[in-house]
Amino acid sequence: MSTQTHTNTARTGHLGEGTWWQGRSGLLVPLIMGAFSTYLLVGILTMEVAEDADKPGPQFFPMIIMIVGYALTILLTIAYIRNPEPVDVDDEQPAEAQEDRAFSTPVTSAVAASRLEPHEEDEPAADRRALAEAKAADAKHRTHSDFVSLAWGAGGFAAFALILEFAGWIIAAALLFWCVARSMGSKKPLFDLTVALTFSSLVYIAFAVMLGLNLPSGILGGGF
């Protein structure tokens, strides 16, 4: 919401850089809202309501939600088009500006009145420099969010969900563990695999054998 503090626009190799879309990827948010409102709209139109249903019927409340949902979609779209997100990387921000931003939310505005003036001491300079460096290093990346990591995590979970009942808990959970560990930047795939198998087996013993939860044993169980 506070774009004024950013003055510097150097950023290398950002996806969609220089196009109108730069800083407007936030339009995903109204897109989600709009899609969900449409889901509600279709549901309301196709709903089969009994003739004798009491007056504020089952469609009444979802209708309100849907209308508010569409209104928010429009407002959010306007907000994102008018105020693109700052995608630029800052040099060190002055401590005062940073604190001011921290104190500008409604929750914290209660505190703002009590701020010390003049500002005496905040985060040590080393910390802020480290933060700025981290931001700068990040800007060298191709994209803002690390979609490769994300794909490992989400893909791992999808694979886990799909093979769980066939392959059994121990194998599926170990796979999930391994994929997420990889998505977090682990560089030792073989060692990870042993950790993953140990972990999933321990969970199986603790929860399925001792606490009696229903976890599939899959191909490892009973088959041979």
**Based on the number of CB atoms within 10 Å of its own CB, is 122 exposed (0-12), middle (13-18) or buried (19 or more)?**
middle
The string over 49-72, giving b where at least 16 C-beta atoms fall within 10 Å of a residue's C-beta and e elsewhere, is: eeeeeeeeeebeeeeeebeebbeb
Q: Is 193 left (phi over 0), alpha (psi -120 to 50) or beta?
A: alpha
Least separation in angstroms between residue 223's CB and other proteins is 20
SS3 state of residue 77: helix
Residues 45-104 that bind other proteins (CB under 8 A): 46-50, 53-58, 60-62, 65-66, 68-69, 72, 75-76, 79, 85, 94, 96-97, 100-101, 103-104
The one-letter amino acid at 163: I
Residues 97-116 that bind other proteins (CB under 8 A): 97, 100-101, 103-116
Q: Which of 179, 185, 190, 189 is nearest to 156 (CA)?
A: 179
Nearer to other proteins, 130 or 224 (CB): 130
Least separation in angstroms between residue 110's CB and other proteins is 5
Contact residue for other proteins among 11, 14, 89, 183 (CB under 8 A): 183
Q: Does 16 bind other proteins (CB under 8 A)?
A: no
Least separation in angstroms between residue 224's CB and other proteins is 24
